[in-house]
Amino acid sequence: MLAPVIWDRLTVGAGVGYATLVSVLLAVGYPRLTPLYVICALLTAVPLAFRDHLDFRAVCLLVAVVLVPMALFGVFFGLFVYAPAALPLVVAALPTPKRYQREKFVAVGVVLAAGLVLFAIQFARF
């Protein structure tokens, strides 16, 4: 069984993977805004740079607090698709008993997969 710290980092990694995939797909459709999409994807990866678990949790919440309003106000630039990437950051910051770490990771994966499906439906319409 992996330590809870590892599961939290895997959860954030899932959010980073989602944000990176969305950034690539958006950059294909809207190449002029590529730097903005890269910044959003890199923003989700910032917590992975912190080794101390308390710092990791604090930065996860801070990035989520920055990412959600940015996604809401950036709706005209396609940034709304980054809102699901904030969920793994919030979930990784919350303390969870050891026996539920895997379930937490699976739940985040399901939400991110649903976000990708909704993004694909929206992207296919253009």
pLDDT digits (tens, 9 = 90+) for 41-56: 999 999 999 988 889 9
Q: What is the pTM of this model?
A: 0.81
Instruction: Give the C-alpha separation, 46 to 123, whole Å.
Output: 27
Average pLDDT over residues 8-13: 85
Assign 3-state DSSP to the chain and report helix, strand, coil percentages, each to 5: 90, 0, 10
Tell whether the model's pLDDT for residue 1 goes beyond 60. no
| Lowest-pLDDT range of 42-46, 86-90, 94-98 | 94-98
Cβ atoms 44, 67 nearer than 8 A: yes
pLDDT of residue 58: 92
